[in-house]
Chain A
Amino acid sequence: MDFPSSLPPSLFTTGPLGLSDVPDVSFMCSWRDALTLPESLPQGPENAAPHVAKGLLWEPDTPGPLPLLPPGPDPWDPGVTAQDLLFRGGYQFRRQPQAVLDVTEQVSGPTVRSATRPGLCLVTWPPFLLQLSRFLWDHGDIAFAPLGKLMLENFKLEGARGRSKKKTVVSVKRLLQDLGGHQPWGCPWAYLSHRQRRFSILGGPILSTSVASLLGELLHEELALRWEQLLLDDAFTGGALAWVPGRTPRAGQLVYPAGGALDRLYFQKVSLTPGSEPRVLGGPGHIRLRGPVRQVVTHTVQGEALLAVRSDYHCALWKVSKQGQPAPLQVLQVEKGATGISLSPHLPGELAICSRSGAICLWNPQDGLRQIYKDPETLVFRDPSPWRWADFTAHPRVLTVGDRTGVKMVDTQGPPGCGLLLFRGGAEASCQKGERVLLTQYLGECGPECLHPTLHLICTQFSLYLVDERLPLVPLLKWNHGLPSAPLLARLLPPPRTGLPRPLLLAGQGGELQLLHVAGEGASTPRLAGPPQSLPSRSDSLSAFPLLEPKSQWRLQERLKAPAIGLAAAIPPSASTPVLSLFQLSAAGDVFHQRLHLQGEPGPDSPAPTASWTPQATASCSRWLKALLEVPPAPPVWAAPTFSHRRLLGCFEPQKAEGKAPEGLRTAMAKGRLLQPRDLGLLPTEERAPAPEPGPEDELSERLEAAWEGQAAAWWERRRGSGSGPGKQPKRHKRRTQLSSTFSSLSGRLDLSDAASPPPSPERTLPEARPQPPVTPPAQESTQELWARGVPSERQQTLRDYMAELPLRGDAPGAASVPSSQASSVRATPSRQRAAVRPGSQPHWKKPRMGF
């Protein structure tokens, strides 16, 4: 093999990360790579100018990728966000200490300490305790059910055998089992057995502390884990989308996981045509696996297409036949959890698996599984991450072993544990402080003739390095990628045409894509040919979709922003301009596709043509969107407890003769949908809803006018007089009767202060920030019903809302006064009125206790 005859000059320093005293000779400058030093003068520096076209550019056909396959039938939940986990401020909580349960006082030391420091932290103490105490009340089942199991693990509870069991002796084991098993949702008091009551008296003092410490510790651990996952989810490192070439270069299969839990491995045949969008051939076949698929790797070695799949605790290997049928070869279990899998590009069926325990194993059909390396510690310096990675090198018996701090080459036949460091997170590669390896990949698998088959790609959160295994520690190329998320996916493609540089695709977890042109073969050093370019991401496709109502729009946006978990690309052979087909897989299981064509050197003045959406593209987006909106949204993680109404209302079995109205109401209630007039047995009327009334607006302008003239007080007086007096405006009267006639059992008190108060705002947690309604006139105050007495004023509105939802028995005052002639004119309004108080808009207030 050729070695570059003259390497680019670089300084070599040893030391830890972020050693700032040394000048960075590379200057992080992208055009520096274009300045290859002339070998010798006779050819002249003029001729040594890089022959690579300056304007090498892959032009996308459309402004963004398009959905290739219809969305899956399972709903997708984006999971926790930073807003869910972070808490900022906390000053107001400290000024007004809130009463919390004693139990939670001792929860998790670290968070308690952190509360003494200002600013932001994951969960600060007072709100955390508040939250925890609420959690214990509201989700007793979730909080206490695992407790029994936990305590069973931690205590030795069984007494000596053969001892006679008297009635005074309680079997703690049974009790603890009870604790876990028999609690109905939501209600901690239901089914409280005598045994449990006795136990709670006996075990109270112990339990109060152990619940807190056990639960708090676990909760804290879980929160920390979720937060770390949110910042960097390395489970999908390497990518879960693979392109398995078929019989002809234009046909192939996409292999990817989909389904709600990503536990189905799909095989979709796709045919690529240079002139148009790829065609999906038939429906996908799928294999159901026992866990979520995290990584899919494919290689064609000696004519054999192999497919390796990594799940959390299992790895599997398939052989794909010429017809595209997968046949299982091996399934391996990884007890501590697998972090990486790679297939050998040299020997058919050989694969390397990395475990969280720090072990690297090699499997091949002849020798079976063999551990070749094990080190629970990281390579260069101490880093807590258990992430490990392994890949192959140009020598089939030498593997690279990587972790967050560096990459080492290990000879599988040599003595265990020894090897040379290929990459060191330190001054050798002028790494920054806090820089860590996120991905390493062997780049030499695409055939020896185009690029050095000894190159390795190493990505950190800041930069990309190309390292030659023959010159360890000194990166041949370093480029600051500047991706706003973790680069966990990379693909090197064959050159689109002989003589052209090879495209290297790099994708961040957030879906950002970059394309680099890597040139350099034979005796020249690998370098970037031309400036790297960014490619459109999935969220750039938003403009291709029709505009939707905000909720669906938000759902679409969220779906398009789903993290990228897979990347695959193919360059089908074509006579004219080379075309690159790029496939992306998102965490929601969507496969998107983008076509790019290589642009020649554009003239100095001709602006690059901008891509636009074709009618076909927008049509396919609309189809996809329609299918997406048909998928029901993900159910919330926790729903309000449902009680068995059969048990509760067993004695009131519905009587058949009651007519259509209660039946319709009952079904509407049971289905949780909007009550429509026809449910109540009323015929839809042709009458339109009354035109919007100039109600509050007019009052406001009136009031403003008065205030402008300095007569606000007089205006208010006038208003009060007219509001409580008998000469009430007919309009207001009408409004009220509209409401009361719709829900015939409602009290007329609904509009206590309706005229000037805004609809109940969902931001209830900040009462002082809410625009305050004018003070309720004493005349109205006195007419309030008994139920409103003693209820804090800010809750009255909620109660009112609830009252509004519950058809109360008995005639409410006001209902009788409704003129029957008006009853029919208002039937179309309830949907609007109800919409303002629908429980969906106020999740905080829908707890059943409130209504009790």
Chain B
Amino acid sequence: MSDFSEELIRPTTEDEQEEPHVPSGTGMCLPWLQKHIETIATGGKQEKDFAQTTSACLSLIQEALLKHQWQRAAEYMHSYFQILEDSDSNKRQIAPEIIWRLGSEILYYHPKSNVETFNTFADRMKNIGVMNYLKISLQHALYLLHHGMLEDANRNLSQAETWRYGEKSSSQEVLINLIQAYKGLLQYYIWSKKKMELSQLDEDDYAYNTASQNMLNHSWKTSINLCALIQIPGVWDPFVKSYVEMLEFYGDQDGAREVLTNYAYDEKFPSNPNAHIYLYNFLKREKAPREKLISVLKILYQIVPSHKLMLEFHRLLRKSENEEHHKLGLEVLFGVLDFAGCTKNITAWKYLAKYLRQTLMGSHLAWVQEEWNSRKNWWPSFHFSYFRAKSDWKEDKALACEKALVAGLLLGKDCRYFRNISKQDHQVLKKKIKQMKKSVKKYSIVNPGL
């Protein structure tokens, strides 16, 4: 607290006026602090006229963009280019990035803009302020890709790939990797187009050979392009997916497995559920043993217990001979149904009702109680309230029946949900409800003696 005034002095010390944001005493940057200070600014260094005009122009552009007035924004943008002539080298240096960011946005949304306009603008911007060459090239390529111009995008990326400026910095390297990866992705698109053509051709056809030859070439190029980036920590789902698909196509199963394993298990990478899902799907295609599949899904279960693959996981566990796996199977089902987004998942409820009965029949009461202990104080109001019984019955009668069985088994026949559903009169479900009552009477954990 004591040094806040000290901190506050900083912005006005001569050369730091350029700082866009002023820190407050707590180390927090407050973009609006400058505004407060300006309200009382009477003496001291004033911003130059030109700087004031450019910042006013910038805010006008931003305002127009937020009001979707593309035409007006474009007009202001026309004037804003003047900032490139600013005598302040600092401002001159950051100007191209701002111009590109705003300009590309205007051109992207402007009703009268077209690909040619965008191309011209992008090509010009690439060469103003060389530091942005790579970023702009990449975004330009994405724009072209988005407009279906794969060839142009590819050419663009190839140009950028070979571009060098000064000493190769680490950020430049990452960008070049990214550009190569996108190029690889483009080649993958071309490849997969060819693959589709190939599938329509007859194998004995002469054209088949040339086509497959073409594909081989592509694959080789792509692998080089893609593999550099996916070593760097990050989320690279589209790249990994396409790379693995190509590797698999050419029979390099080991290579594909290595890529996926690395992507899923490297600790430097963020814990991306998709990495595990891709690996699981690959192993499934490879017809890997059940144990292997279970071990992959076990990790996914730790990260995302609500994933829809968990039901598949449960099936695997149920089929397993291992007693531990049977217990885990129950845990997984309870885990799925904990989540707000899964409360109406009828498959999960069906599995739980069936498996709960089965477990209780198999006299594993302790397992059920272990799971139930941590849930007994909130599941009743979360799943089995009177309101839920009414709304479930109204929306989905099958779901209500499954849930009622679970409720009866876990809470006894006196629970509101079970009572409410069991007294419903329904022609088709009559038999089911009767069965349900019988099961509850026999296996409910509340009165295990009966």
Interface residues of A (CB under 8 A from B): 1-13, 21-23, 25, 27-32, 34-35, 37-42, 44-46, 49, 54-55, 57, 81-83, 86-89, 91, 109-111, 113-114, 117-123, 221, 224, 227-228, 230-232, 302-304, 345-348, 366-367, 383-385, 394-397, 404, 413, 428, 432-436, 444, 448, 452-454, 461-462, 470-474, 482, 484-486, 510, 514, 531-534, 603-605, 607-608
Contacts and interface: CB of A to CB of B under 8 A. Distances in A.
B255 interface: no
A531 B6 CA distance: 41
Interface in B353-389: 374, 377-378, 381-382, 385, 387-388
B414 interface: no
A120 B174 contact: no
B307 interface: yes
B44 interface: yes
A303 B391 CA distance: 10
Interface string B295-315: 000000001101110000000
A78 to B, nearest CB: 13
Contacts of A2: 308
B11 A224 contact: no
A482 B340 CA distance: 33
**Which of A6, A42, A91, A444 has the largest number of chain B CB atoms within 10 A?**
A6
B90 interface: no
Contact of A224 (B4, B111, B175): B4
A443 to B, nearest CB: 12
A461 B30 contact: yes
A5 B269 contact: no
B-side binding surface: helix, strand, loop or mixed? helix
Contact of A22 (B171, B343, B382): B171
Given A86-B36, A448-B341, A531-B68, A11 B378 contact: no
Given A9-B178, A45-B150, 8 more contacts: A29-B104, A42-B193, A123-B5, A224-B5, A228-B4, A228-B25, A404-B28, A510-B32
Contacts of A346: 340, 382
Interface of B: 1-6, 8-9, 11-13, 21, 23-33, 35-37, 39-44, 62-63, 65-69, 71, 101, 104-105, 108-109, 111-112, 135, 139, 142-143, 145-148, 150, 169-171, 174-175, 178, 181, 185, 188-190, 192-193, 196, 232-239, 241, 268-274, 277, 303-304, 306-308, 338-344, 374, 377-378, 381-382, 385, 387-388
A419 B307 CA distance: 20
A22 B174 contact: yes
B28 A608 contact: no
A-side binding surface: helix, strand, loop or mixed? loop
Nearest to B62: A482
Nearest to A398: B338
Given A121-B5, A224-B4, A608-B69, A347 B381 contact: yes
A434 B27 CA distance: 6
A111 B342 contact: no
A461 B28 CA distance: 9
Given A1-B308, A45-B189, A471-B272, A23 B171 contact: yes
B342 to A, nearest CB: 6
B126 to A, nearest CB: 14
A44 B148 contact: yes
Nearest to B375: A397
B41 A88 contact: yes
A303 B62 CA distance: 43
A395 B336 CA distance: 10
Given A1-B307, A6-B241, A533-B68, A12 B139 contact: no
B424 to A, nearest CB: 19
A339 to B, nearest CB: 15
Given A232-B30, A531-B68, A88 B340 contact: no
A532 B105 CA distance: 12
Nearest to A603: B111
Given A86-B37, A533-B67, A11 B232 contact: yes
A110 B5 CA distance: 8
Contacts of B39: 81-83
A42 B6 contact: no
A88 B42 contact: yes
Contact of B44 (A81, A88, A534, A608): A88
A461 B236 contact: no
Q: Which 4 A-B pairs have the closest CB atoms?
A: A434-B29, A604-B111, A534-B66, A119-B12
B40 A31 contact: no
A510 B65 CA distance: 20
B97 to A, nearest CB: 9
Nearest to B390: A303
B141 to A, nearest CB: 10
B32 A3 contact: no
29 contacts: A6-B238, A9-B181, A11-B178, A11-B232, A12-B233, A12-B268, A21-B171, A27-B135, A29-B105, A31-B108, A31-B109, A35-B145, A37-B238, A81-B39, A88-B40, A118-B13, A119-B9, A228-B26, A231-B36, A302-B387, A367-B377, A397-B338, A404-B28, A448-B340, A471-B235, A471-B272, A484-B32, A533-B68, A604-B112
Contacts of B148: 44-46, 49
A604 B112 CA distance: 7
B7 to A, nearest CB: 9
Nearest to B30: A231
A91 B42 CA distance: 12
Nearest to B27: A434
Contacts of A453: 339-341
Given A83-B39, A367-B377, A49 B146 contact: yes
